[in-house]
Structure 1
């Protein structure tokens, strides 16, 4: 799923052009829903991605979500996230969001957590429920963020980012905390280090359940939504 276009069963058509791909529990596409209204207190499982941008000097881009965002407004998080559309590959979707949200090109894209999955609720009760492969890329040039998407941004030293996750996880989005915790101790910061090329990724599969019932990849309970605070942002 991460290296090929998303295909939806015959008979399913986009409700609107800007849609998300709904998923069965085993990760198979089952339909489409408008992106603008899919997030509720009972958000269905759907396909997404997270991308962390790393400069050649090793600094990682954190962005603060715009105050007008429907979910987690004003919360600091990873560089950018998004949802691939039907017939769109992950690489195409990530490139599209990098241009739309940060007005930049990317290179050296690779997957570091291809089976990441999480469920979390924000302070208002709105839920994210995503199969969300995690990628790392190198930016080409400097970001020029869209104010509709990004309120602020900072290039952060990785050691400072690790400390932030440890002492103030509530300051970041729950998915960023879970991802950074899972990536600790790996060579994910190097765009030529550990990770999977897009052409070698195996399909996403159903994973073990967390103690709170929210599924997560690789059977790692430390990556459950319960491992990161929800409803505190």
Structure 2
């Protein structure tokens, strides 16, 4: 599933810029947006569950620009200009995890965060959070995901809240709000 048709997942893809009210004000190349003074932009996070009710936890590849090697939610990304969020969620599930998903549900429509990586790169995103069900098993793209595991949602929540330094900052904040994880 990691083919040339996934050209929007290259380093030079574009993001949707937002004003402080979350309204679209333009677009910019992703590579030019993420830095020490990152503009507010649109993103999304997704938590994928299997038929046993376990959630897919992924560890970001060491080559990632921000938070390399950190454990995080199943996957996340940025919708392209004029792309719906649900289309972007499907696209990234395929690109990062070689995974088809179904039953996509919007869990946190207004989630927003700002965090600074140890390298000084800032994430500044309006980042709606989705839940979805896996169709089949993941085949991780090694440029995106170095490892993954299925785990019990409540065990994950307790782990994230007890050891937040081991997880992505957006995931730590999301765990405090997601009812699915016992918030």
Please, what TM-score do these two structures have when normalized by structure 1?
A: 0.71
CA distance in 1, matches of 2:161, 2:68: 22
Q: Which runs of structure 2 are paired with 1:85-104 in the superposition (5 Å)? A: 85-104=80-99
Q: 1:76-131: per-residue Cα shift (whole Å, max 9, x none)? A: 00000000011110111001101111011100001000000000001111100000
For 2:155 and 2:12, the matched residues in 1 are separated by 40
Aligned length: 171
The equivalent residue for 1:212 is none
Rg larger in structure: 1
Partner of 1:45 in structure 2? Answer: 40
Runs of 4+, deviation exceeding 3 Å: none
Which stretch has the larger CA shift, 152-161 or 75-84? 152-161
- In the TM superposition, residue 58 of structure 1 has moved relative to its aligned partner by 1.2
Alignment gaps of 5+ in structure 2: 1-10
* 1:24-64 deviation line (CA, Å, top 9, x unaligned): 11111111111123110110000000000011211111100
Cα distance, 1:17 vs. partner? 6.5
SS in 2 for 1:182: coil
SS at match of 1:37: helix
Q: What whole-Å deviation, never above 9, does each CA across 1:186-233 have from its counterpart, x for those lacking one?
A: 2x36xxxxxxxxxxxxxxxxxxxxxxxxxxxxxxxxxxxxxxxxxxxx
Partner Cα distance (1:46, 1:98) in 2: 20
Give the structure-2-normalised TM-score.
0.90
Q: Unmatched 5+ residue regions in structure 1?
A: 1-15, 190-233
